[in-house]
Amino acid sequence: MNQIYLITDLHIKQGNPKKVKIFINNDFFAETSCNVVADLGLSVNSSITRHTLELIQKENDLTEAKNDSLRFLSYRARSEWEVKKKLLDKEYPLYIIKKTLDWLKEKKFVDDWDFSLKWIEYQLSKKPVGKIKLRNELYKKGIDKEIIDKTIDSFFEKEDELGLAYQLIEKKYASAQLKKTKLEPKKIINLLKSRGFSNIVIEQIDDDFGTVGT
């Protein structure tokens, strides 16, 4: 037989009328939202089962996970994987994490496609980099390979990777002239490799500036 628990008091939280403190058998049990109290039909002197207590706790966990996610997202946009990792670090149950991520995606607070496009644009606004580096960095953020490929292809329909490479070279040449040093072709190629430019771009640059290793 299921044990019956008596709600002995419901207190509206001071300073936050959307929160309610629940007392079971005269002991504080949990703090939850007014919506949970209304949805579950909770009232003073009403009896509830352990199953209802578990439902309250689950709703509290879900609310807290949502709030933690929104705080995490308030600093900057995040990938779905980054949010999931944050919630795992806070030791939320997996079913709560899944529900939270589903809610975030439904509300468009998390959108890996949009995140990837904006992230690529932001990275290129800071400094010229190539497709390989962008692809690797997005992979580290847990973005699905198909999304990575499609967003990079979509972005570079309007942006010329070879043009970005020449922007980088022009900056390095200007810096070398100020320092009165020479920018060797081999250093140019090594720089492009370190910035993740694709082989086809590096080969084109190599043809323009002379062979590497000579």
Count CA atoms within 13 Å of residue 162 on its CB side.
8
The three-state (H, E, C) secondary structure of 173-194, written as one string: HHHHHHHCCCCCHHHHHHHHHH
Task: State how far the Cα of 178 lies from the Cα of 172, in Å rounded to an integer.
Answer: 10
Task: State how far the Cα of 191 lies from the Cα of 172, in Å rounded to an integer.
Answer: 10
Contacts of 177 (CB under 8 A, 6+ apart): none
DSSP states of 110-174 as a string? --HHHHHHHHHHHHHHHS---HHHHHHHHHHTT--HHHHHHHHHHHTTTS-HHHHHHHHHHHHHH
Tens of each residue's pLDDT in the chain, 214 residues: 457 789 899 988 888 888 888 999 888 888 888 888 888 888 899 888 888 888 888 888 998 999 999 999 999 999 999 999 999 999 999 999 999 999 999 999 999 999 999 999 999 888 889 999 999 999 999 999 999 999 998 888 767 888 888 888 888 888 777 777 777 778 888 889 988 998 888 888 887 765 443 3
pLDDT at 174: 82
Contacts of 191 (CB under 8 A, 6+ apart): 168, 169, 172
What domains appear along the chain, each with residue ranges and CATH number? 4-106 (1.10.10.10), 112-209 (no CATH)
Tell me the pairing of strands 27-33 and 19-24.
Answer: antiparallel
Task: State how far the Cα of 88 lies from the Cα of 81, in Å rounded to an integer.
Answer: 10
Q: Helix, strand, or coil here: 99?
A: helix
Contacts of 83 (CB under 8 A, 6+ apart): 69, 72, 73, 100, 101, 104, 110
pTM: 0.77
pLDDT at 214: 38
The phi and psi torsions of 28 (rounded to 5 degrees) equal -65, 130
pLDDT at 2: 58
